[in-house]
Amino acid sequence: MHGSGTRPPHRTVTRSTAAHPAPHPVTTYALIGVCALVFLLGPASGPVPAHDGGAALHREQAAYFQHWGVLPRALWSGAARPLLTPFTALFLHGGWLHLLGNLLFLFVFGDLVERRLGPFRFLFFYVIVGYLALLCYAAAHPDSAEPLIGASGAISGVLGAFLYLFPTARVTSVLPFLWFLPLRFPAWAVLVFWLVLQWAAARHDTDGPGIAYLAHVVGFMVGFLYAWLRCRSATPDEGISS
Protein backbone atom coordinates (compact mmCIF):
# COMPACT_ATOMS: atom_id res chain seq x y z
CA MET A 1 0.00 0.00 0.00
CA HIS A 2 1.32 3.38 -0.96
CA GLY A 3 0.68 6.01 1.66
CA SER A 4 1.83 9.46 0.69
CA GLY A 5 3.05 10.40 4.17
CA THR A 6 5.26 13.45 4.72
CA ARG A 7 8.08 11.59 6.46
CA PRO A 8 11.67 12.63 5.70
CA PRO A 9 14.45 10.63 7.39
CA HIS A 10 14.76 13.30 10.11
CA ARG A 11 11.37 14.83 10.65
CA THR A 12 11.17 18.56 11.13
CA VAL A 13 8.29 19.83 13.25
CA THR A 14 7.56 23.49 12.69
CA ARG A 15 5.06 26.09 13.81
CA SER A 16 4.58 29.61 12.49
CA THR A 17 2.12 32.33 13.47
CA ALA A 18 1.08 35.73 12.18
CA ALA A 19 1.81 38.81 14.23
CA HIS A 20 -1.52 40.44 13.32
CA PRO A 21 -5.12 39.26 13.90
CA ALA A 22 -6.77 37.29 11.11
CA PRO A 23 -9.84 35.11 10.66
CA HIS A 24 -9.61 31.55 11.90
CA PRO A 25 -8.59 29.09 9.15
CA VAL A 26 -11.92 27.25 9.16
CA THR A 27 -11.17 25.19 6.04
CA THR A 28 -7.89 23.93 7.47
CA TYR A 29 -9.63 22.95 10.71
CA ALA A 30 -12.47 21.32 8.76
CA LEU A 31 -10.06 19.26 6.64
CA ILE A 32 -8.25 18.12 9.77
CA GLY A 33 -11.56 17.15 11.34
CA VAL A 34 -12.80 15.25 8.29
CA CYS A 35 -9.54 13.31 7.90
CA ALA A 36 -9.56 12.39 11.59
CA LEU A 37 -13.23 11.36 11.51
CA VAL A 38 -12.84 9.22 8.38
CA PHE A 39 -9.83 7.52 9.95
CA LEU A 40 -11.56 6.83 13.26
CA LEU A 41 -14.66 5.40 11.59
CA GLY A 42 -12.68 3.21 9.18
CA PRO A 43 -10.82 -0.05 9.80
CA ALA A 44 -7.37 1.59 9.54
CA SER A 45 -7.72 3.01 13.07
CA GLY A 46 -7.24 -0.48 14.50
CA PRO A 47 -9.29 -2.97 16.51
CA VAL A 48 -12.42 -1.13 17.63
CA PRO A 49 -15.85 -2.62 18.46
CA ALA A 50 -17.12 -1.93 14.93
CA HIS A 51 -14.39 -4.12 13.39
CA ASP A 52 -13.09 -7.60 14.07
CA GLY A 53 -9.48 -8.06 15.10
CA GLY A 54 -6.55 -10.09 13.81
CA ALA A 55 -6.64 -11.49 10.29
CA ALA A 56 -10.22 -10.36 9.75
CA LEU A 57 -9.21 -6.77 10.47
CA HIS A 58 -6.32 -6.94 8.00
CA ARG A 59 -8.63 -8.30 5.30
CA GLU A 60 -11.12 -5.53 5.99
CA GLN A 61 -8.41 -2.88 5.81
CA ALA A 62 -7.12 -4.24 2.50
CA ALA A 63 -10.62 -4.31 1.01
CA TYR A 64 -11.29 -0.79 2.32
CA PHE A 65 -8.17 0.68 0.70
CA GLN A 66 -8.77 -1.22 -2.52
CA HIS A 67 -12.28 0.23 -2.74
CA TRP A 68 -11.62 3.85 -1.76
CA GLY A 69 -7.94 4.27 -2.67
CA VAL A 70 -6.37 4.93 -6.06
CA LEU A 71 -5.45 1.79 -7.99
CA PRO A 72 -3.18 2.98 -10.84
CA ARG A 73 -3.95 -0.08 -12.95
CA ALA A 74 -7.70 0.53 -12.65
CA LEU A 75 -7.37 4.29 -13.12
CA TRP A 76 -6.33 3.82 -16.74
CA SER A 77 -8.89 1.10 -17.49
CA GLY A 78 -11.39 3.51 -19.07
CA ALA A 79 -14.03 3.05 -16.36
CA ALA A 80 -15.53 6.19 -14.79
CA ARG A 81 -15.50 5.24 -11.10
CA PRO A 82 -11.70 4.95 -10.68
CA LEU A 83 -11.39 8.58 -11.80
CA LEU A 84 -13.23 9.59 -8.61
CA THR A 85 -10.93 7.66 -6.28
CA PRO A 86 -8.24 10.39 -6.05
CA PHE A 87 -10.90 12.50 -4.29
CA THR A 88 -11.73 9.79 -1.76
CA ALA A 89 -8.11 8.72 -1.31
CA LEU A 90 -7.26 12.23 -0.09
CA PHE A 91 -9.12 11.52 3.16
CA LEU A 92 -7.70 8.04 3.86
CA HIS A 93 -4.66 7.19 5.97
CA GLY A 94 -2.91 3.90 6.56
CA GLY A 95 -2.19 4.26 10.29
CA TRP A 96 -1.87 6.61 13.23
CA LEU A 97 1.60 7.91 12.29
CA HIS A 98 0.49 8.54 8.71
CA LEU A 99 -2.56 10.47 9.92
CA LEU A 100 -0.88 12.50 12.68
CA GLY A 101 2.14 13.40 10.55
CA ASN A 102 -0.04 14.70 7.73
CA LEU A 103 -2.36 16.64 10.03
CA LEU A 104 0.57 18.23 11.84
CA PHE A 105 1.97 19.61 8.58
CA LEU A 106 -1.51 20.79 7.52
CA PHE A 107 -2.06 22.51 10.87
CA VAL A 108 1.30 24.27 10.80
CA PHE A 109 1.35 25.49 7.21
CA GLY A 110 -2.32 25.51 6.17
CA ASP A 111 -3.22 28.35 8.52
CA LEU A 112 -1.38 31.18 6.76
CA VAL A 113 -1.92 29.83 3.25
CA GLU A 114 -5.66 29.71 3.80
CA ARG A 115 -5.67 33.25 5.20
CA ARG A 116 -3.95 34.46 2.06
CA LEU A 117 -6.09 32.51 -0.43
CA GLY A 118 -9.41 32.61 1.42
CA PRO A 119 -11.34 29.56 2.72
CA PHE A 120 -13.17 28.55 -0.48
CA ARG A 121 -10.23 29.08 -2.80
CA PHE A 122 -8.01 27.20 -0.35
CA LEU A 123 -10.42 24.23 -0.39
CA PHE A 124 -10.42 24.20 -4.20
CA PHE A 125 -6.62 24.47 -4.22
CA TYR A 126 -6.20 21.63 -1.70
CA VAL A 127 -8.48 19.19 -3.53
CA ILE A 128 -7.20 19.91 -7.04
CA VAL A 129 -3.52 19.80 -6.07
CA GLY A 130 -4.09 16.55 -4.16
CA TYR A 131 -5.91 15.03 -7.14
CA LEU A 132 -3.13 15.98 -9.56
CA ALA A 133 -0.41 14.66 -7.25
CA LEU A 134 -2.10 11.26 -7.01
CA LEU A 135 -2.83 11.24 -10.73
CA CYS A 136 0.80 11.93 -11.64
CA TYR A 137 2.04 9.17 -9.37
CA ALA A 138 -0.44 6.76 -10.96
CA ALA A 139 0.74 7.84 -14.42
CA ALA A 140 4.33 7.08 -13.44
CA HIS A 141 3.32 3.61 -12.17
CA PRO A 142 0.44 2.62 -14.47
CA ASP A 143 0.74 -1.13 -13.83
CA SER A 144 0.72 -0.91 -10.03
CA ALA A 145 -2.02 -2.79 -8.20
CA GLU A 146 -1.13 -1.23 -4.82
CA PRO A 147 -3.72 1.24 -3.48
CA LEU A 148 -2.49 4.80 -3.14
CA ILE A 149 -3.94 6.73 -0.21
CA GLY A 150 -3.21 9.82 1.85
CA ALA A 151 -3.48 13.59 1.93
CA SER A 152 0.24 14.23 1.54
CA GLY A 153 0.07 15.25 -2.11
CA ALA A 154 -2.38 18.00 -1.18
CA ILE A 155 -0.43 18.96 1.94
CA SER A 156 2.78 19.09 -0.06
CA GLY A 157 0.97 21.58 -2.28
CA VAL A 158 0.27 23.67 0.81
CA LEU A 159 4.01 23.59 1.60
CA GLY A 160 4.84 24.74 -1.92
CA ALA A 161 2.36 27.59 -1.70
CA PHE A 162 3.76 28.56 1.72
CA LEU A 163 7.27 28.71 0.28
CA TYR A 164 6.17 31.18 -2.40
CA LEU A 165 3.92 33.29 -0.15
CA PHE A 166 6.04 33.40 3.01
CA PRO A 167 9.67 32.59 2.08
CA THR A 168 11.18 34.75 4.83
CA ALA A 169 8.86 33.57 7.60
CA ARG A 170 10.75 32.29 10.61
CA VAL A 171 9.74 28.86 11.80
CA THR A 172 10.78 26.98 14.90
CA SER A 173 12.00 23.48 14.10
CA VAL A 174 12.50 20.60 16.50
CA LEU A 175 15.11 18.22 15.10
CA PRO A 176 15.17 14.70 16.58
CA PHE A 177 18.80 14.11 15.59
CA LEU A 178 19.79 17.22 17.62
CA TRP A 179 18.12 15.98 20.81
CA PHE A 180 14.89 17.87 19.99
CA LEU A 181 16.63 21.21 20.41
CA PRO A 182 14.30 23.96 19.09
CA LEU A 183 15.99 26.02 16.39
CA ARG A 184 14.72 28.87 14.21
CA PHE A 185 15.15 28.80 10.44
CA PRO A 186 13.72 30.77 7.52
CA ALA A 187 10.83 28.93 5.88
CA TRP A 188 12.65 28.70 2.55
CA ALA A 189 15.51 26.74 4.15
CA VAL A 190 13.20 24.27 5.91
CA LEU A 191 10.96 23.68 2.90
CA VAL A 192 13.70 23.47 0.29
CA PHE A 193 15.53 20.95 2.49
CA TRP A 194 12.29 18.94 2.81
CA LEU A 195 11.77 19.03 -0.97
CA VAL A 196 15.31 17.82 -1.65
CA LEU A 197 14.72 14.84 0.66
CA GLN A 198 11.48 13.99 -1.12
CA TRP A 199 13.08 14.30 -4.55
CA ALA A 200 15.97 12.05 -3.55
CA ALA A 201 13.57 9.44 -2.17
CA ALA A 202 11.26 9.70 -5.21
CA ARG A 203 14.08 8.49 -7.46
CA HIS A 204 13.72 5.11 -5.75
CA ASP A 205 9.91 4.87 -5.82
CA THR A 206 8.63 1.44 -6.85
CA ASP A 207 5.27 -0.13 -7.66
CA GLY A 208 5.30 -1.99 -4.34
CA PRO A 209 4.22 -0.91 -0.84
CA GLY A 210 5.84 2.20 0.56
CA ILE A 211 5.61 5.98 0.54
CA ALA A 212 4.67 7.76 -2.68
CA TYR A 213 7.42 10.38 -2.63
CA LEU A 214 6.75 11.36 -6.22
CA ALA A 215 3.27 12.52 -5.20
CA HIS A 216 4.92 14.79 -2.61
CA VAL A 217 7.23 16.34 -5.20
CA VAL A 218 4.43 16.87 -7.73
CA GLY A 219 2.12 18.35 -5.10
CA PHE A 220 4.81 20.74 -3.89
CA MET A 221 5.64 21.99 -7.38
CA VAL A 222 1.98 22.42 -8.36
CA GLY A 223 1.28 24.27 -5.11
CA PHE A 224 4.21 26.62 -5.65
CA LEU A 225 3.16 27.26 -9.25
CA TYR A 226 -0.45 27.94 -8.27
CA ALA A 227 0.61 30.46 -5.61
CA TRP A 228 2.93 32.17 -8.10
CA LEU A 229 0.21 32.45 -10.74
CA ARG A 230 -2.47 33.55 -8.29
CA CYS A 231 -0.54 35.87 -5.99
CA ARG A 232 2.48 37.14 -7.92
CA SER A 233 1.14 40.71 -7.96
CA ALA A 234 0.19 40.72 -4.27
CA THR A 235 2.26 42.41 -1.57
CA PRO A 236 4.10 39.88 0.64
CA ASP A 237 2.83 39.58 4.22
CA GLU A 238 4.87 41.32 6.87
CA GLY A 239 5.41 40.44 10.48
CA ILE A 240 5.50 36.67 10.25
CA SER A 241 7.31 35.11 13.17
CA SER A 242 7.71 31.79 14.91
Please pick, among 216, 233, 241, 242, the residue that the annotation labels catalytic: 216
Instruction: Give the residue from 112, 138, 131, 139 showing the smallest Cα distance to 222.
Output: 131
What's the CA gap between 68 and 43, in Å, rounded?
A: 12
CA gyration radius, the chain:
18
What 8-state DSSP symbol labels residue 44? G
Q: Is 216 a residue of the active site?
A: yes
Q: Which of 45, 144, 152, 156 is catalytic?
A: 152
Q: Is 152 a catalytic residue?
A: yes
Q: Which residues are catalytically annotated?
A: 152, 216
